[in-house]
Amino acid sequence: MSHCYFITHPEVTIDPDVPVHRWGLSDQGRERMSAFSAHPFLANVKRVISSEELKAVEAANLLAARLGQQPARMASLGENDRTATGYLPKAQFEAAADEFFAHPDRSYRGWETATAAQARIVATIEQILRASPDVDIAIVSHGAVGTLLKCFLKGIAITRTEDQTRQGHYFVFETDSRKLLLDWTPLESPWIV
């Protein structure tokens, strides 16, 4: 049985003057991702793929280096498109994210809708799994991406109640059945198979 590990990048260096997709990992984020990459349960991962956003690329590079691999990148694993608003302070961002999930068919101030983002993400995951059957895969991406994917895997409507509690979590599903085996888990907590 092969597994897909969906991993969200940990903490980033927030800079309102830099486009969000160019934010990199903070020192804490690098430390957390490096420690996560050493978990023995990841030893069988044969492919590491990330979004093209810097924070995900940096996190994937840490994992791939530990596994002796070169990570691949896919733009379609990027976070929901929020370029219409750019950076939003935390309170405004949380309110916007609430709207994004609560009204999945409606665009929040020009954002990609949750429904469109979910369709893109699910199609991308299916493409990845078809290209690498029967191998363990690690996908390094973003929180909303993972939440939308997890809602699909669970067969439920889009909801923010399925979101991670902070950056730097992972979940695991079986690649053949698409059955969720482990819900959001902090990077510090190993999966006990």
* Segment 134-184, tens digit of pLDDT: 999 999 999 999 999 999 999 999 999 999 999 999 999 999 999 999 999
Report the run of H or E that residue 182 belongs to, with start and end. strand 180-186
User: How would you classify residue 180: left for phi > 0, otherwise alpha for psi between -120 and 50, otherwise beta?
Assistant: beta
Q: Quick check: pTM over 0.85?
A: yes
Rg value, the chain, Cα: 16
* Segment 17-76, tens digit of pLDDT: 999 999 999 999 999 999 999 999 999 999 999 999 999 999 999 999 999 999 999 999
Q: Identify the architecture of domain 3-186 in CATH.
A: 3-Layer(aba) Sandwich (3.40)
Strands 169-174 and 3-8: antiparallel
Angstrom CA distances, 179 to 2, 151, 176, 182, 187, stand at: 11, 12, 8, 9, 21
Place of tokens 């893109």: 120
**Domain limits of the chain?**
3-186
